Amino acid sequence: MKNSWKLFIIVELLLFVSAGYQLFKNPAALVFLVIAVMNLLYALKKEERNSFNQFQLIVSIVVIVLCLLISSPIIWLMLTLAIIFIGLKGVEVSGVSFFQNALWHKKQMVIVETKESESKNSRRFKRPWLGNQRIGNNVYEWDDINYTSFAGDTIIDLGNTLLPKQDNVIMIRKGFGRTRVLVPVGVGIVLEHSTLLGNALVEEQFYRLRNESLKVYSDDYDESQRRLKIVTSTLMGDVEVIRL
């Protein structure tokens, strides 16, 4: 996933350079674009905005978009590639399969691969800084999660693992993006969330946070044999804790 994002960014940058070259070959569109940008900046600097300033903003944005789309067809290609790539990544992180009910899966044989137990001491691994990620697509042995990401959506599915009868921890530090934790019924939950701007949904309770911290316990936390502590810290983004 990390390599695919790098390739996508490189391709988009190359197309952007080509679009800029085409724009400079069209003096009329370039002049309109410069005037529109200057008008937009002038309107944004106004502290008190009236109806004329709003009109300036709308006209400037429309002119900028038209100049880019008309003067360079490559912009259309950039938008198309972005929509396709982001759509495919959304399907990938959600775990949806369009062919899971296909006829050739009716008599599918699934072979479970086993391996020897590994030492949990001194394990070292990397996670991507950018992009969407889903943890728990397949059956896995539980281990406390300590996750850091700059931007991207994250889904942690606990339906394919068995939590030990003790306190378990998920710690997530993120700059931007949405986080969803899918927790089986019967597990006590405590969520400690801190964010600059975002929302939190836990135990069907909705919280809107603005530079605030939140600590919420599930109703069955004290009586549950299996407990999960979720500690999240984000700049901007929503956190959802959903029961399976």
pLDDT value at position 102?
Answer: 54
pLDDT tens digit sequence for 142-154 = 888 888 888 888 8
pLDDT value at position 85?
Answer: 78
pLDDT value at position 61?
Answer: 87
pLDDT value at position 67?
Answer: 81
pLDDT value at position 104?
Answer: 47
Cα(112)–Cα(115) distance, integer angstroms: 10
Among residues 141, 193, 149, the alpha carbon closest in space to that of 168 is found at 141
Whether residue 87 sits in one domain with residue 174: no
150: in domain: yes
Full residue range of the structural domain in which residue 229 is found: 135-243
pLDDT value at position 109?
Answer: 53
Cα(200)–Cα(177) distance, integer angstroms: 13
pLDDT value at position 100?
Answer: 53
Contact between 184 and 225 (Cβ < 8 Å): no
124: in domain: no
The DSSP element (H or E) to which 209 belongs, if any, is: strand 205-217
221: in domain: yes
Among residues 207, 212, 208, the alpha carbon closest in space to that of 233 is found at 212
pLDDT value at position 101?
Answer: 55
Domain-ending residue, one of 44, 76, 94:
94
pLDDT value at position 177?
Answer: 86
Measured CA to CA in angstroms, residue 167 lies from 88, 190, 218, 226 at distances of 36, 10, 14, 7
pLDDT value at position 107?
Answer: 53
Cα(176)–Cα(172) distance, integer angstroms: 12
Contact between 137 and 117 (Cβ < 8 Å): no
Whether residue 139 sits in one domain with residue 90: no
126: in domain: no
82: in domain: yes
118: in domain: no
For the chain, residues with pLDDT lower than 50 are 98-99, 104, 110-114
pLDDT tens digit sequence for 67-87 = 877 777 788 888 888 888 777
Domain-ending residue, one of 41, 73, 94:
94
Contact between 227 and 168 (Cβ < 8 Å): yes
pLDDT value at position 120?
Answer: 58
Tell me how many domains the chain contains: 2
Whether residue 159 sits in one domain with residue 237: yes
Whether residue 239 sits in one domain with residue 141: yes
